[in-house]
Amino acid sequence: MRYKLSDIAQILAQPIARDANRVIQYLVTDSRNLVEPKQSIFFAIKGPRRSGSAYIKDLYQKGVRVFVLDEPFDTTDYSEAVFFTVTHTVAALQTIAAHHRAQFSIPIIGITGSNGKTIVKEWLYQLLQPDYRIVRSPRSYNSQIGVPLSIWQMAEDHQLGIFEVGISAQGEMQALANLVKPTMGVLTNIGDAHDEGFKNVQDKINEKTKLFAAATEVIAATDFIPEALQTNPIVVSWGSKPLLTPGHPMPTLQLLQQQKQAHHTVLLLQYHAEPFSLKVPFTDAISIQNVITCVLVMLQMQYDIAIVQTRVMELQAVEMRMQLRKAINQCYVLNDSYSNDKLSLSLALQFIQEQANQQPIIAILSDIVASGQPAQSLYQEVAQLLANNQVKQLYAVGPDISQYFLNELNQPMQFAVLCFANTEQLLQHLQETMFQQSYILLKGARKYGFEQVAHWLEQQVHQTIMEINLTAMVHNLKLYQSLLKPDTKLMAMVKAFGYGSGAGEVARRLQQQQVDYLTVAYADEGVTLRKAGIYLPIMVMSADAYSFDAMVNDQLEPELFSFPILHAFHDYIAKQGLTDYPIHIKLNTGMNRLGFDSKDVPDLCKWLSQQNRLRVKSVLSHLAASEDPTEDAFTQEQVNLFDDACQQIEIAIGYGCIKHIANTAAIRRHPEWQFDMVRLGIGLYGADATTNPPLPLQPVATLKTTVAQVRMVKAGETVSYNRSGKITRDSVIATIRIGYADGFSRRLGNGIGKLWIGGQLAPTVGKICMDMCMIDVTDIPNVKEGDQVEIFGKHIPIQSVANAADTNAYEIMTGISLRVKRVYIEE
């Protein structure tokens, strides 16, 4: 279903003076997700620090001609464009989507809750797809922006919609409920996520259940929802506990018994009066809950129990995040077979293009199944997406996508194409020489089994990995940005391999987020970033004469901290015949590490005022104890010395420069010391010893490994070197694949360190070995070889590991060995 621009104007109650017959097919809220400019509307949404209107010029140059905005904008240079000025841009987006939703009368399943929304949505898609053409939310598109973009995908051929809806505060649900208007509701659970946005649990319940105003029934678990909701007459429940509703002592679907096996769980259920068994291919409690919710949805949709039993056993785990992994021949592979539709393809291409920079991009795509769109127009749009994102080679797998590109072989194409009927044919054709220093996007419908291709492409190396969640990093960045004054710049610290996270990958995402400056410790780190396509200004903290060539060649800016290094760099710049080369002056105000002392400032000012080769870009100093309230008087003294020196320097040089002294802790504790710029370091990665004011940081790095072996050890025996682990009871000991060569400190041996396995903490036993360590899993049932173990991450904060090792989070992060594979995650 396509709209004309005149239709959009009518929906928004806006006048229109030109282009009334322009076809509108795409609603764009992110300038990177541009498919067909001439058929797009860009919604200039205001963010906490930047407005979408800043991207209008670039989009206009790319061919976009329709814009929606809610703030004044000079349209003088945009004579061919149509501008709709509305009260609120997001509300306008929702209004258009609501009109589109009203054109359809198909059944809609609306899912909300504190957790599990995306999993339930994707499993319902797997279970129901054989019988329906389904439109569903891409990935976790459940926000005020994501929901309308999901609704916009609805097309005439769709027979069922499945949409997830998430809220974080009072008053957010009504607008989304008006959009989705589900005929069946699913409430996964009510937990403590986003508690800060509601007065109490009852307010949260009232707000979330507004989604179900038009629903005839709501599927919910009585074991995981408050009592107040159990008495609602439209709630159809499952659970193991009696209901409170008079006359209805048990839920509609009863969980009578469950028996966990090594790789599956057998459930005994009863639907109304009919008992049946269900074999579930998962063993963890959360997956069991989500499966039962999906089962009740199917039963309420009149599915036979036999069909339910068969399809549940075919369920596959949902990987909710895009993962960028190292692959053969210095390649990276992005395995995003989590979903396969146009919007998720656009998101994946956007992510991989940001990471690839100038390196070639190869796409391996399967047919897009059940899109509800004619194949010709569907793959025409896919081809445009690939071209827009600089894909150089396409491997097309499946009859539909292959047929389209085979028909187009005589047409000019911006990328090379090879077509295959199925995955087996592709695997027979592949050779390692086809992939050299490239970024590979792997995106296929579930039935194509692209995990075989991923296995072929990925390097099979050390099973210990560190996941770097780039989405969480951006979340943390925005939290700190929200504490800044509007004009305060932000310098991000990416030294020491991005605090162990991978400097290039981290820097690319920070560049995309438009931070103002990057900082590295040494020039070679800056050179690496330049080679990775980073064009932001980069300050080098530890400049020396041997690095001058590299810095100038790659336009790196040195931090100069003494007269000898200042004079040496000045002489080098003079020999090169350069002027106004940017430098950063480091002052020592109490850290006593590097920097000009206060007594040196008059001579420094005199020298700076008498030369023109160097231009002072910024003046900085380092706070020694900004996180410690007991040292606030000392910190204030540092700031006073810094402020006085900066004033002297600016008077001497005759122009203003950027001044910065605040680090991660000071951003939170001392907003009055922001000056012109702040430096964000460990907080960017989710670790900050400061607790006031509270800040809901997310862990960026998760260090994981696996169990290599499990053995019984009798009381009186010992474990590890020097018989250091004394066993006092018959125990189950698991050997895991991480040791001090990976960065797991020897200080964490002998029970000091604790690791997360099977939903519990397990203490180390004996000394940490070079490549392995042992943990006591006696009280944790069913631990087996291959089980995943978390060293730090979601369940074990890195600060806890640092405390146990009597160090700080910096040392833990930067100490993770480079032999530990980094996997980059985008949620």
The first and second tokens of residue 339, run together, are: 């979903």
Inter-residue contact 36 to 25 (CB < 8 Å):
yes
Taking phi over 0 as left and psi of -120 to 50 as alpha, with beta for the rest, 675 belongs to: left
Name the residue among 117, 114, 157, 115 with its Cα closest to residue 137: 117
Name the residue among 119, 259, 264 with its Cα closest to residue 189: 119
The string of DSSP codes covering 517-542 is EEEESSHHHHHHHHHTT--S-EEESS
Inter-residue contact 710 to 777 (CB < 8 Å):
yes
Task: Kindly indicate the confidence band of residue 228, based on its pLDDT and cuts at 50, 70 and 90.
Answer: low
pLDDT at 285: 83
Is pLDDT of 321 > 80?
no
3-state secondary structure of 283: coil
For 647-695, write each residue's pLDDT tens digit: 999 999 999 999 999 999 999 999 999 999 999 998 998 888 777 767 8
The residues assigned a catalytic role are: 495, 721
Task: Kindly indicate the confidence band of residue 249, based on its pLDDT and cuts at 50, 70 and 90.
Answer: low
Inter-residue contact 646 to 608 (CB < 8 Å):
no
pLDDT at 825: 81
Is pLDDT of 227 > 70?
no
Q: Tell me whether strands 265-271 and 416-420 are parallel, antiparallel or unpaired.
A: unpaired
3-state secondary structure of 41: strand
d(CA 455, CA 425): 16
pLDDT at 505: 80
Inter-residue contact 707 to 789 (CB < 8 Å):
yes
The predicted model gives 771-795 an average pLDDT of 94
The predicted model gives 535-557 an average pLDDT of 92
The first and second tokens of residue 532, run together, are: 């990775």
d(CA 362, CA 397): 13
Task: Kindly indicate the confidence band of residue 17, based on its pLDDT and cuts at 50, 70 and 90.
Answer: confident
pLDDT at 126: 93
Instruction: Please tell me what DSSP assigns to residue 632.
Output: H
pLDDT at 179: 94
End-to-end CA gap in the chain: 29
The predicted model gives 333-361 an average pLDDT of 82
pLDDT at 411: 81
For 450-468, write each residue's pLDDT tens digit: 888 988 887 555 678 888 8
For 461-482, b/e burial (b = at least 16 CB within 10 A) is eebbbbbbbbbbbbbbbebbbe
d(CA 468, CA 497): 12
Mean pLDDT lowest for which of 1-15, 334-348, 533-547, 712-726?
334-348
Amino acid at site 85: T
For 266-294, b/e burial (b = at least 16 CB within 10 A) is ebebebeeeeeebebebbeeebbbbbbbb
For 91-133, write each residue's pLDDT tens digit: 999 999 999 999 999 999 999 988 889 999 999 999 999 999 9
Q: What kind and span of H or E run contains 449?
A: none
**352: Cβ contacts below 8 Å, ≥ 6 apart:** 324, 334, 361, 389, 439, 441
The predicted model gives 216-229 an average pLDDT of 75
Q: Hunting for tokens 């995981």 — which residue is that?
A: 224
User: How many C-beta atoms lie closer than 10 Å to residue 614's C-beta?
Assistant: 23
The predicted model gives 533-553 an average pLDDT of 91
Alpha-carbon distance values, 96 to 178, 205, 743 (Å): 12, 28, 52
Mean pLDDT lowest for which of 219-223, 256-260, 475-479?
219-223
For the CA atoms of 306, 307, 313, 315, what is the dihedral angle to 10 degrees? Answer: -160
Is pLDDT of 339 > 70?
no
Name the residue among 542, 572, 538, 534 with its Cα closest to residue 559: 542
Taking phi over 0 as left and psi of -120 to 50 as alpha, with beta for the rest, 581 belongs to: beta
pLDDT at 57: 94
Mean pLDDT lowest for which of 240-254, 414-428, 578-592, 653-667?
240-254
pLDDT at 343: 76
pLDDT at 243: 57
d(CA 697, CA 683): 8
pLDDT at 226: 60
pLDDT at 639: 97
The predicted model gives 615-630 an average pLDDT of 94
d(CA 266, CA 259): 5
pLDDT at 499: 55
* 194 vs 730 pLDDT, higher one: 730
Q: Hunting for tokens 């989507």 — which residue is that?
A: 97
**5: Cβ contacts below 8 Å, ≥ 6 apart:** 16, 19, 20, 21, 22, 23, 24, 66, 82
